Amino acid sequence: MELNNIKHADGAKHAKRRVGRGIGSGLGKTAGRGHKGQKSRAGGYHKVGFEGGQMPLQRRLPKRGFKSHLLKFNAEVTLTALERLGASDVDLLALKQAGLVGQLARVVKVINTGAISRAVTLKGIGATAGAKAAIEAAGGALA
């Protein structure tokens, strides 16, 4: 075997289609584009999603949903997470330092998931009705 004799495996490479090179090539005259029409012309084609003037699919479907750009500033904390935190006074800074909420969080709300047995005082933090009842039952308060 020599470097100048090495060849690709059969079928690994195939010649590029050369269109518009005469009758004998099999792709002369119209070069595989058929006769007339927008798609046969040079530079003639439609935009993506164009349906020939019919109302396009993305405009036929109803607009739905909304995602607030302010969501990144909101955060939730569960009762279980508060229990694990082990602090008696909980504020936004304490939650950020513990890694329970993101650094961008501005509004934090405690949700009623899990259980809490220790007394916790929340300062500047909201709570759902169920979470508030659970915190007060454990001897805590919302400041």
- Which domains are present in the chain? 71-142 (3.100.10.10)
- Residue 6 in 3-state DSSP? coil
Average pLDDT value for residue range 19-47: 92
Environment class of 101 (CB within 10 Å of its CB; exposed 0-12, middle 13-18, buried 19+):
buried
Average pLDDT value for residue range 10-26: 93
Q: Say if residue 22's pLDDT is above 90.
A: yes
Over the stretch 55-107, which tens digit does the pLDDT of each residue have?
999 999 999 999 999 899 999 999 999 999 988 899 999 999 999 999 999 99
Contact 78, 113 (CB under 8 A): yes
Q: Which pLDDT score is estimated for 64?
A: 94
Q: How many CB atoms lie within 10 A of CB 135?
A: 24
Show the tokens assigned to 71: 């969501």
Q: Which pLDDT score is estimated for 44?
A: 85
Over the stretch 95-121, which tens digit does the pLDDT of each residue have?
999 999 999 999 999 999 999 999 999
